[in-house]
Amino acid sequence: MSDTTSHLLTLAEKREEQIASVLEKIYAAAQSGAVYSEPVTSGNYTVITASEIAAGGGFGSGCSSFSTPASGSPRFSRSAGGSSQC
């Protein structure tokens, strides 16, 4: 296996571990106890406090086959000998 392929596999494995870690943290926070407290009863009344939680996120990855010539404007390189950032 080439060094480049080995390096790409290592990066993919690291990314997978990072995503798994983030998802574990999200699932740990998404428990009912994070939103609702234990009921408190006083006389005829029972109070259950609740919090509002909002979350957002995104994931992405990719690579580029663009090269930048001396002029500074991006150009897509399809040649067999073109440089690739993947």
Q: pTM above 0.85? A: no
Task: Look at residue 63 and tell me if it is in a domain.
Answer: no
- CA diameter of the chain: 81
pLDDT at residue 2 in the model: 79
| First-last CA distance in the chain | 16
Distance separating alpha carbons of residues 56 and 65, to the nearest angstrom: 30
What's the domain count of the chain? 1
Domain assignment present for 76: no
pLDDT of residue 67: 62
User: What pLDDT sits at residue 42?
Assistant: 94
Kindly state whether residue 47 falls inside one of the protein's structural domains: yes
Please give the chain's pLDDT, 86 residues, in tens.
Answer: 678 888 888 888 888 898 899 888 888 777 777 778 889 999 999 999 888 777 777 767 676 666 666 666 555 554 444 444 45
Q: What is the C-alpha separation between 2 and 51, in angstroms, rounded?
A: 53
Domain region containing 21: 3-57
pLDDT of the residue at 8: 81
Q: Is residue 75 part of a domain?
A: no
